Amino acid sequence: MYSHLPYHVLDISEEKDGNGRHVRCLFCKQETTGSIEHIIPEALTGFSWLTVREVCEKCNNTLGANVDNLSSRCSLVFRLAVEARLTPWGKINVEVEDERTGEYFPGLFDYRDGTVEEITRTQKDGSRRLRFFGRTQEEVALKTEDIARKIQSRGRDVRTNGPFVLSSRAKTHCTGGDAEAQALCRFAAKATIEYVCKTAGPNVAMMPELDPLREYVLRTQPPIIARFSVIGSPRWMWLPRQSVFYVFDEQSTSSNETRRIVDEWMVNNPGLPPPGVPLAPRPIHELRVERRGTSAQCVLTLFGLAVIEVDLPGTLQLANMLDSCDLLTHKKRLKYL
């Protein structure tokens, strides 16, 4: 079927797979008996998605720890997994924008009560600054003023300012130098190699044109350009678009006592019940490798929303390979889980 391809095809017809035959690992190209590798991590419902056996145990462990695990914990992917009810309610990293100054603050969005947790910063003068967030001015004022009174009753100098309205948002894009971008890029590059193996066969996946991807997956070299974004309008709540908050300045270098008071207040004031979160649609993953001009590109869509685009360090031969293998017929390959 692939005899017409313009490069050497490795003859592995006599090699074995997981049924007792030896094969060459898709990544290190060493001979192996093979192990089950999930194209999409099991944490993202990959257990019922496509798998390949042409990966040695060593590379499988490396991919699991350094690629699948890191990409699954990225804020964008983790948020989608939480909304799809694939992982317990938890917290994700968000950025909160001060509309007055345009400054962004890091924070944690707590899915249990639908609010952004307080942010603690040490100022240049050694004082501590806490920012408390909530969905309403009354809710945040109650928390802030109550805690301030408790600290003042112990002879501490405390002042509060606010309320201010902030815009809270989750990270939906990043640059190539970002650690999350690199993790997602390696994940997409790994999935590309396995996808080619699954759709066009191991002979094609072992082609030298894919060697730069192999090097990048295992050793992050050479660098590859990656982009990811969120498409469409989510049909369920991610974050409140705005949060009211108070600035809470604690004029002390000691934070242990304040932390205890805050924790005590949170226990005694559990706050409002969690907001209703509509059920997310059933997860849909799509993976395609397609020609873009004289190069190639991997496009990985998670849950129908998160799109990871990876420009393969391609050559014209790699783009021709996609055409020759007729991989474009798989553009509509969707897996409903």
pLDDT digits (tens, 9 = 90+) for 71-126: 777 766 766 666 666 665 566 566 665 555 666 666 666 655 555 555 555 555 55
37 and 59 within one domain: yes
The answer to whether residue 12 is domain-embedded is no
73 and 210 within one domain: yes
What pTM did the predictor assign?
0.56
Q: What tokens were used for 299?
A: 């496009």
Cis before 222 (ω within 30): yes
205 and 123 within one domain: no
Of 208, 158, 232, nearest in space to 321 by CA? 208
- 61 has pLDDT over 70: yes
47 and 35 within one domain: yes
Number of domains making up the chain: 2
70 and 140 within one domain: no
Q: How far apart are CA 296 and CA 316, in angstroms?
A: 8
The answer to whether residue 219 is domain-embedded is yes
Q: How far apart are CA 60 and CA 50, in angstroms?
A: 15
Beta partners for residue 171, in sequence order:
none
CA angle (75, 228, 221) in 5-degree steps: 95
179 and 167 within one domain: no
251 and 167 within one domain: yes
pLDDT: is 175 or 65 the higher one?
A: 65
Q: In the prediction, which pLDDT does 279 show?
A: 35
Q: What tokens were used for 69?
A: 């695990």
Weakest mean pLDDT among 16-25, 61-70, 224-233: 224-233
Q: What is the pLDDT of residues 289-324, one digit of tens each?
A: 776 666 667 777 776 666 666 666 554 555 666 555
The answer to whether residue 306 is domain-embedded is yes
222 and 289 within one domain: yes
CB 306 within 8 A of CB 228: yes
The answer to whether residue 134 is domain-embedded is yes
Q: How far apart are CA 114 and CA 237, in angstroms?
A: 9
284 and 139 within one domain: no
- 54 has pLDDT over 60: yes
Of 137, 136, 134, 154, nearest in space to 251 by CA? 154
The answer to whether residue 94 is domain-embedded is yes
119 and 38 within one domain: no
Quote the mean pLDDT of the chain. 61
Percent of the chain with pLDDT over 70: 32
Q: Which residue range is the domain that position 167 belongs to?
A: 88-172+236-268
Cβ atoms within 10 Å, residue 265: 15
216 and 186 within one domain: yes
Q: In the prediction, which pLDDT does 176 show?
A: 42
Q: In the prediction, which pLDDT does 110 show?
A: 62
CA 26, 32, 33, 34 dihedral sign is negative
The answer to whether residue 14 is domain-embedded is no
Q: How far apart are CA 184 and CA 301, in angstroms?
A: 12
The answer to whether residue 3 is domain-embedded is no
Mean pLDDT, rounded, for 179-201: 78
The answer to whether residue 296 is domain-embedded is yes
29 and 124 within one domain: no
Instruction: Please measure the distance between the N-terminal and C-terminal CA atoms of the chain and give it in whole angstroms.
Output: 32
